C-alpha cells in the first residue's frame, strides 16, 4: 500500500509542470472589468475578468469573444487561441501576443563568421 501511495505522489509531481502550461492566458491590462465569452466545441461560458488581472483558461482550442459596448455599431471582438497562446485586452482592444517560443524556433541560426585575415580558414 505504501509503494502505491509513493508511486501515485511521484506521478502527480511529474504531471504538475505539464499542467501549469496547458491552456490559454488572458491578461486584462485595462483598469475596468471586461466581460468575455469563452467558446469551445459545443459549449460557451460567460465570465468577467477584473482590471489588471491575468487569468488562465484551461482547455483549447477556444475562441474568446468580447461583446461590443452598448449602443455601439461595432462588431464583437473575437480571437481564436490554442494551448500556450496569450491574449491581451488593452485600451479596449483584444489581441493575441506572439509566442516567444515560436519566434525562437522561427529565427534562423546565425551564419558562420569568416575567419580574421591572416588566419587559415
pLDDT tens-digit map of 21-37? 568 999 999 999 999 99
**What is the pTM for the complete model shown?**
0.64
Asked if 36 and 66 touch (Cβ cutoff 8 Å), the reply is: yes
The pLDDT of 115-120, averaged and rounded, is 58
In Å, what is the CA distance from 53 to each residue of 16, 26, 101? 23, 8, 23
pLDDT band of residue 102 (cuts 50, 70, 90) is: low
Residue 116 clears pLDDT 50, i.e. is over it: yes
Min mean pLDDT across 9-23, 40-54, 76-90 is at 9-23
Burial-class residue 11 by CB neighbours within 10 Å (0-12, 13-18, 19+): exposed
Residues β-bridged to residue 35? 48
- Looking at the DSSP bridge assignments, the partners of residue 73 are none
CA–CA distance, 83 with 29 (Å, rounded to integer): 21
Amino acid at each position: 500500500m505504501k509503494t502505491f501511495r509513493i508511486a501515485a505522489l511521484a506521478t502527480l509531481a511529474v504531471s504538475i509542470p505539464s499542467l501549469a502550461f496547458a491552456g490559454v492566458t488572458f491578461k486584462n491590462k485595462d483598469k475596468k472589468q471586461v466581460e468575455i465569452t469563452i467558446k469551445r466545441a459545443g459549449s460557451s461560458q460567460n465570465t468577467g475578468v477584473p482590471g489588471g488581472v491575468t487569468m488562465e483558461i484551461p482547455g483549447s482550442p477556444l475562441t474568446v469573444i468580447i461583446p461590443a459596448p452598448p449602443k455601439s455599431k461595432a462588431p464583437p471582438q473575437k480571437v481564436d487561441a490554442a494551448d500556450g497562446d496569450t491574449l491581451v485586452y488593452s485600451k479596449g482592444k483584444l489581441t493575441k501576443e506572439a509566442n516567444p517560443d515560436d519566434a525562437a524556433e522561427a529565427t534562423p541560426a546565425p551564419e558562420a563568421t569568416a575567419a580574421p585575415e591572416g588566419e587559415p580558414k
